[in-house]
Amino acid sequence: MGHTIFGKDAYNMNFAMLMILTAVEVGAVASSVNGDISEQMVIFILVSIGVVKFLGIAFIFMHLRMEPDSNILTLTALFPSFFILMMFIFIAITVPGAPDSLPAWCRF
C-alpha cells in the first residue's frame, strides 16, 4: 500500500514490534517463575505491553494512522476507555475499603 514507518513497510515493522513485545512478555513471565520479579510487576508489564500492542494493531492494521480523519477514528476507539477509568477511580475513591471488596481478578 505504500505506507512506511522509518522507511520500512508499515506491516513488517508492526510484525517486528509485536514479535519483540511478545518476547518481552515471555521473558517477564519466565522471570516471575524463577522468582526474579514480583507478580504485581509481571501484571504491570503484561498490561502495559498489551496496551502498546493494541495501539499498534489499531493504528496500523485497522488503518487509523493512515486515514485523513484518523483523529476522529482514534477518539472513537478510545472513548470507552474514559468510562472504564472513571469507573475504577470512583470505586476506589467513593467507598472506603471498596478496592478490597472487588473481585480477585480486579485487584493485585
Q: What is the pLDDT of residues 59-78, one digit of tens each?
A: 776 665 566 666 666 677 67
Task: Kindly report, residue by residue over 4-42, the tens digit of the pLDDT.
Answer: 667 777 778 888 889 999 999 999 998 888 888 888 888
> Do 61 and 76 share a structural domain?
no
> Do 32 and 8 share a structural domain?
yes
> Do 76 and 52 share a structural domain?
no
Please give the tally of structural domains in the chain. 2
> Do 7 and 57 share a structural domain?
yes
> Do 87 and 50 share a structural domain?
no
Domain that holds residue 18: 1-66
Nearest Cα residue to 37 out of 54, 52, 50, 25 = 25
Nearest Cα residue to 29 out of 62, 76, 21, 15 = 21
> Do 48 and 31 share a structural domain?
yes
> Do 74 and 62 share a structural domain?
no
> Do 99 and 79 share a structural domain?
yes
